[in-house]
Structure 1
Amino acid sequence: MQNPSKFHNNRKAYNWLIYNNIDKWLLEYSKYYKRTLVDLGCGTAPYKDFFLQYADKYVGVDWTNTLHNSKADVISNLNERIELPDNYADTIVSLSVMEHLCEPQIFLNEGYRILRNNGVIILQVPWMWCIHEAPYDYFRYTPYGLKYMFEKAGYKDIHIQPITGFFTMWFLKMNYFSLKWIKGSKLRKTFTKALLIPFWYVAQKIAPCLDNKHRGWSLESAGFFVIAKK
């Protein structure tokens, strides 16, 4: 089976580590991708072909108000009733979506409704991350808040997995900050970026090692995965 990175090109010199970490867990959870898989908030559906290595059917769901060029199979406002029948999906995935929803509890409740009994939801959200896709960026979630909301929706066997530790989160934020700092002419931007690329690379190489030596490594994670069952 091919790595998720084969199916999208989001990696840049300053942020490849966060995508490596997400890919690691997407591969770890591949045993849950079965039969009918629904991608809630699919956007451009960058992982469609990856999921279809495991699932029989992929259904992307998104709404027309997205900032991405949506490739959804089903158009539905994720803050409201999702346009899918009860007990439809064997697996639900949702990646970096729930922070953009003004009614996240409705979203989780609807996910529970369309999931078959013993079906699994795999959801990823940022935690220590900057505001993005403004003004549609509403919430950040602690592990305790996530557990509460999933339990309220009816899910069981809830497992919450940090994506990074403190140092990975901090170095990535510094990389993004330095990228935004680049100003001036095209020539100056190119020269400055060339100077920064070695720093970006070294920072992302050493960050996981520092995380491994940090006792409270997960307390300031860049984000979390949640795995839960109906």
Structure 2
Amino acid sequence: MASTRTICSPLLSCCLYLDRFDGMNIYWIPRHYIEEFCRKQGQVISGRILDFGCGSRPYAACFPDVHDYMGVEYDRNLQPGSFYEKDKVYFYDGLKLPFPDNYFDAIVSFQVIEHIENLHDSLCELKRVSRPGAKLLITGPLLWPEHEAPFDFRRFTRWGVEQIFNGAGLEVVEARPMGSIYDVLCVFLLDHLNTHRLILARKFCRFICPVINMISVLLNKLDPWALRDDRYCYLDLGLIATNLKQE
């Protein structure tokens, strides 16, 4: 009887994912971790927020108390000092953000910092435009295939990212691993098939994607040790940082 409960409990836990399970999304595994991270931290963020490297702003709904959600994107075709705005997204030259000092109450950025060639200068700019004590929520990869080549410059460990952020005057309050070794294996397999040169392999990826995604959920439930806080094999880091108060 006890063994039956042991088996059923993970299966029941997996069922709780079904309301937010997007099995056909090849990158559902990392994205659902980022969404959970945002929803939890978004409860304590309000005011004016900047989404740095916002893309389509996929996690904006996770911040219900924000009254002004603004985005910024890099346009490499712009001349130095130039920028333009479209639908509350500012496109800039990648050098100086087009905002005044101490302007934002919080800054978020998801899977962007690995693509910034001069990361130190960009972090200093984020510090400049955020108010003293502002919270920064940033995610970046530890174990990921190279992507968006040739603009993929680095990966991050908990200790390395703290050194990088401290050097820009930002204090890392918490560096939270996201994903497990099972998630890493599943994501790498799906990414390999999805980017395969053979059309048949790419079609096969779409076919098995829901199964692989659910397998990762089940394995994490069967082996919770894989998601322990001090694990060393995971997909991404969820960073909670703050702008150190200026003297």
User: Shorter chain as normaliser: what TM range?
Assistant: 0.7 to 0.9
Instruction: Call closer, same or farther: CA 1:40–1:11 in 2, change over 3 Å.
Output: farther
What is the CA–CA distance in structure 1 between the aligned matches of 2:98 and 2:223, rounded to whole Å? 42
CA gap of 1:189–1:145, structure 2 versus 1, over 3 A, is: closer
Match of 2:242 in 1: 229
* Shift in alpha-carbon separation, 1:11–1:81, aligned structure 2, 3 A: farther
**Pairwise CA RMSD of aligned residues?**
2.8
Tell me the amino acid that sits aligned with residue 89 of structure 2: D
In structure 2, C-alpha distance between the alignment counterparts of 1:195 and 1:75, rounded to whole Å: 37
Report % sequence identity.
22
Give the letter for the 2:216 counterpart. Q
Residue type of the alignment partner of 2:151: Y
| Paired position in structure 1 for 2:99 | 84
- Name the residue aligned to 2:232: 219
- 5 Å matches for 1:54-73? 54-65=65-76, 73=89
Structure 1 or 2, whichever has the larger Rg, is: 2
CA–CA distance in structure 2, aligned partners of residues 200 and 152 of structure 1: 40
Give, in angstroms, the shift of residue 12 of structure 1.
3.3
Aligned residue type for 1:35: G
Which stretch of the first structure deviates more once superposed, 27-36 or 123-132? Answer: 27-36
CA offsets 1:104-129 (integer angstroms, 9 cap, x no match): 11111111111111111111111100
Check 1:74–1:197 CA distance in 2 against 1; reply closer, same or farther (3 A cut).
closer
Whether the aligned pair in 1 keeps the contact of 2:179 and 2:235 (CA below 8 Å) is yes
Q: 1:24 pairs with 36, 41, 44, which one?
A: 36
Point out where structure 1 has 5 or more consecutive residues left out of the alignment: 1-5
CA contact (8 A) 2:177 2:229 kept: no
SS of equivalent residue, structure 1 residue 56? strand
Q: Among 143, 159, 162, which residue is 1:147 paired with?
A: 162
Structure 2 stretches lacking a partner, 5+ long: 1-18, 78-85
C-alpha separation in 2, matches of 1:194 and 1:130: 19
Query: Alpha-carbon deviations, 1:61-86, whole Å to 9, x = none?
Result: 112239xxx866222234x2211111
Amino acid in the other structure paired with 1:54? D
Structure 2 length as normaliser, TM-score? 0.76
- Would the alpha carbon gap of residues 210 and 218 (structure 1) be closer, same or farther in structure 2, given more than 3 Å must change? farther
CA contact (8 A) 1:123 1:226 kept: yes
| Cα-to-partner distance string for 1:122-141 (whole Å, 9 max, x where unaligned) | 11111100111111111111
